[in-house]
Amino acid sequence: MSVYMYNKIDIGKINFDNRPYKKIKSINVIGDDNIVQNIVKSIYYIDINYLGNPLYVQIPCFKLTNIIDDVVELVINNDFYNFIQSLESYIIDIVHDKSETWFLGRKFTMNKIINCLVSNVNRLNDDYYLSLLLSKNISLYDKCKNKISLEKLKAMKSVDIVCIVKITNLQFIDNRFICNLVIEQAKIINEMQIVEYSIIDSENSLDKNSLDKNSLDENSLDENSLDDEYYKE
Residue 199 predicted with pLDDT over 80: no
Residue 15 predicted with pLDDT over 90: yes
What pLDDT, on the 0 to 100 scale, is given for residue 91? 98
Residue 232 predicted with pLDDT over 70: no
Whether 88 is in a domain gets the answer yes
Whether 232 is in a domain gets the answer no
Q: Tell me the average pLDDT of the chain.
A: 85
What pLDDT, on the 0 to 100 scale, is given for residue 166? 98
| Interior angle at CA 54, CA 48 and CA 57, nearest 5 | 95
Which range, of 7-16, 50-59, 98-107, 112-121, averages the lowest pLDDT? 98-107
- pLDDT band of residue 104 (cuts 50, 70, 90) is confident
What pLDDT, on the 0 to 100 scale, is given for residue 26? 77
State how beta strands 159-173 and 36-50 pair.
Answer: antiparallel
Which range, of 60-64, 136-140, 204-208, averages the lowest pLDDT? 204-208
Whether 140 is in a domain gets the answer yes
What's the pLDDT tens digit per position in 51-89? 999 999 999 999 999 998 899 999 999 999 999 999 999
What pLDDT, on the 0 to 100 scale, is given for residue 113? 95
Whether 198 is in a domain gets the answer no
Residue 215 predicted with pLDDT over 60: no
Whether 122 is in a domain gets the answer yes
Residue 225 predicted with pLDDT over 60: no
Instruction: Tell me the percentage of the chain whose pLDDT exceeds 90.
Output: 63
Which range, of 103-107, 144-148, 163-167, 181-185, averages the lowest pLDDT? 103-107
- Give the C-alpha separation, 20 to 101, whole Å: 10
| Residue from 232, 226, 93 nearest 170 by CA | 93
Whether 117 is in a domain gets the answer yes
Whether 38 is in a domain gets the answer yes
Whether 207 is in a domain gets the answer no
| Residue from 186, 166, 172 nearest 64 by CA | 186
Q: What are phi and psi of 64, to 5 degrees?
A: -85, 125
Domain range holding 30?
3-188
What pLDDT, on the 0 to 100 scale, is given for residue 121? 97
Which carries the bigger pLDDT value, residue 143 or residue 190?
A: 143
Residue 222 predicted with pLDDT over 80: no
Residue 224 predicted with pLDDT over 80: no
Mean pLDDT calculated for residue range 100-114 = 90
Q: Number of folded domains in the chain?
A: 1
- Helix H, strand E, coil C: the string for the chain is CCEEEHHHCCHHHEEECCCCEEEEEEEEEECCCCCEEEEEEEEEEEEEEECCECCEEEEEEEEEEEEECCEEEEEECHHHHHHHHHHHHHHHHHHHHHHHHHCCCCCCCHHHHHHHECCCEEEECCEEEEEEEEEEEEEEECCCCCEECHHHHHHCCCEEEEEEEEEEEEEEECCEEEEEEEEEEEEECCCCCCCCCCCCCCHHHHHHHHHHHHHHHHHHCCHHHCCHHHHCC
